[in-house]
Amino acid sequence: MNQSPLAVVVLISGGGSNLQAFIDAQQRAELPIIIRSVISNNADAYGLERARRAGIATQVLDHRTFFQREQFDAALINLIDQAAPELVLLAGFMRILTPVLVNHYDGRLLNIHPSLLPKLRGLHTHARALANGEVEHGASIHFVTAELDGGPVIAQARVPVLKDDDANCLAARVLIQEHRLYPRVVRWFAQRRLQLNAAGIPELDGVKITTPLLLDVTAPE
Ligand SMILES: Nc1nc2c(c(=O)[nH]1)N[C@@H](CN(C=O)c1ccc(C(=O)N[C@@H](CCC(=O)O)C(=O)O)cc1)CN2
Ligand SMILES: NCC(=O)N[C@@H]1O[C@H](COP(=O)([O-])[O-])[C@@H](O)[C@H]1O
């Protein structure tokens, strides 16, 4: 079991509640990571304030100042690589990344998506789950690939959809589980260095993960 803390960079665009979950878990000594930098494409992201309060370096790279996505991604790579992370974590990051960046961090780039992938890729997943009459919903942690929300799923957390749900209360129910799921997956990486093999299949301790690890995050660890 690897005991050395994992160096990570977290990318955000908004409130940063998943970033806060990392910070809180780390401060409870439940997550052996060093958050070397928090980078946002949005200068107004409240997650930047969360990082500052925790004494974490922050940087803003406004995507609107670049003519092409590839130029933004190249500049983002430069910022990320200055921190030399082992893992790059997208946490509420709202920009579609090009192969320029995805290939540069292949196997070291994770995202949390608020649906039970492969269902409901893209945006507005909670409203779409309700519109589709889903009886369960949830969140997925996956490797990021060029295919939007199409990368290998590592773990998922499920919640019931209740008959009187609206998008906001469903989102809130999912978010509670996100904050339990993401730190636990990152801890796996810190303890075992979860990785993609040459075929692009996630391996944990050399065991291929061919189906999502369904985590009962409601249960105590
Ligand atoms: N190449 C990839 N890039 C990203 C992935 C991915 O799997 N592959 N995951 C997303 C995260 N995400 C959903 O989990 C997501 C983020 C953003 C969008 C999107 O449509 N963005 C628009 C802008 C939307 C906005 O600013 O509100 C855009 O980039 O034009 C869809 C899904 C992160 N990137
Ligand atoms: N497509 C990416 C996406 O929609 N991510 C979602 O943004 C919300 C806010 O995250 P935050 O509170 O950590 O900023 C979270 O539900 C996260 O899953």
Q: Identify the CATH number of the domain in which residue 9 sits.
A: 3.40.50.170
Q: Which of 63, 87, 105 is the last residue of a domain?
A: 105
43 & 90 share domain: yes
Q: ipTM above 0.90?
A: yes
Q: Which of 40, 70, 105 is the last residue of a domain?
A: 105
Identify the CA nearest to 57 among candidates 95, 98, 7. 7
Stated as kind and residue range, the H or E segment containing 157 is strand 153-160
Q: Whose CA is nearest to atom 15 of ligand 2?
A: 92
91 & 7 share domain: yes
The number of the ligand 2 atom at minimal distance from the alpha carbon of 47 is 14
Q: Whose CA is nearest to atom 32 of ligand 1?
A: 122
98 & 4 share domain: yes
16 & 44 share domain: yes
166 & 206 share domain: yes
Q: Which of 76, 105, 134 is the last residue of a domain?
A: 105
Per-residue confidence in pLDDT tens, the chain, 221 aa = 666 799 999 999 999 999 999 999 999 999 999 999 999 999 999 999 999 999 999 999 999 999 999 999 999 999 999 999 999 999 999 999 999 999 999 889 999 999 999 999 999 999 999 999 999 999 999 999 999 999 989 899 999 999 999 999 999 999 999 999 999 999 988 887 666 677 777 776 677 776 766 665 554 54
Instruction: Single out the catalytic residue among 104, 113, 124, 179.
Output: 113
Rounded to the nearest angstrom, the distance between the alpha carbon of 93 and the centre of ligand 2 is: 7
Residue span of the structural domain in which 76 resides: 1-105
CA distance 68 to 72: 7
Stated as kind and residue range, the H or E segment containing 110 is strand 109-113
Rounded to the nearest angstrom, the distance between the alpha carbon of 221 and the centre of ligand 2 is: 24
